[in-house]
Structure 1
Amino acid sequence: MPNPILTLGTYQARPGCEEELSGILRTHVARLRELGLIADRPYFAAARADAPERFVESFWWAHEGAAELARDHSEVQELWMRLEDLCVPGGIGRVELVPLD
């Protein structure tokens, strides 16, 4: 059975792009799940209370190679390019996490 990978994404919106970025983040994981890239586990996307131009999302890649498959998928590439357009330069970060059991 594949081992899901927990991921945390961070985003800093360009001024005036907060609403559009939040809209994409509301549907981002659902689309990745439809493509079979995201595990059927809890996820979230949220704006930071102390900095509303900054967002976080957390989800589980379906398996170790899922992120690479996403990078090669034309629809996902298009979605991620739109996210980049809505964020300040260097405003997107991703880290893999290890849950504390």
Structure 2
Amino acid sequence: MAAGEMVIVGYRPHPGQAAELERLVADHVPILRRLGLATDRPALAMRAADGTVIEVFEWQPGGIERAHADPQAGALWARFAAVCDYVPLRELPEFGAMFAQFTPLAS
């Protein structure tokens, strides 16, 4: 079986949306798995000092491409857009350190 692709993504919550973002991140990968888009590899979620949530998970081979055509994935992404902005990881000070440290989110 072909390997999937690991992804690391940063979500900066809109004002007052941190709790909703954390709930959404907790549901995110399980939904992608039900859609056959993400692997069973354990996902990680953590918070940066500025409140940005970092998520690490693995797409199924071709999962990224299939997600763009999947209406349920599109609806999921619309929910993210309502509560956060995507953040390039280089904008987070933690990624300038030799060992980037974050606060784990409850799984």
Superposed pair shares fold, TM > 0.5: yes
Maintained 8 Å contact 2:12/2:87: no
RMSD: 1.6
Q: Structure 2, unaligned stretches of length 5 or more?
A: 90-107
Report the secondary structure of 2:42's partner residue. coil
The whole-number CA distance in structure 2 between the counterparts of 1:82 and 1:67 is 18
Structure showing the higher helix proportion among its residues:
2
The whole-number CA distance in structure 2 between the counterparts of 1:76 and 1:36 is 11
Structure showing the higher strand proportion among its residues:
1
59, 64, 69: which one pairs with 1:67?
A: 64
| Partner amino acid, structure 2, of 1:57 | E
TM-score when scaled to structure 1? Answer: 0.81
| Deviation (angstroms), 1:25 | 0.2
Report what 1:35 is aligned to.
35
**Pairs aligned (count):** 89
| Partner amino acid, structure 2, of 1:2 | A
The whole-number CA distance in structure 2 between the counterparts of 1:77 and 1:36 is 14
Q: Which structure 2 residues correspond to residues 61-100 of structure 1 after superposition, within 5 A?
A: 61-63=59-61, 65-87=62-84, 91-93=85-87
Q: Structure 1, unaligned stretches of length 5 or more?
A: 96-101
TM-score when scaled to structure 2? Answer: 0.76
Change (3 A) 1:94 1:68: farther
Could you tell me the percent identity over the aligned residues? 30
| Partner amino acid, structure 2, of 1:92 | Y
Runs of 4+ in 1 over 4 A off after TM superposition: none
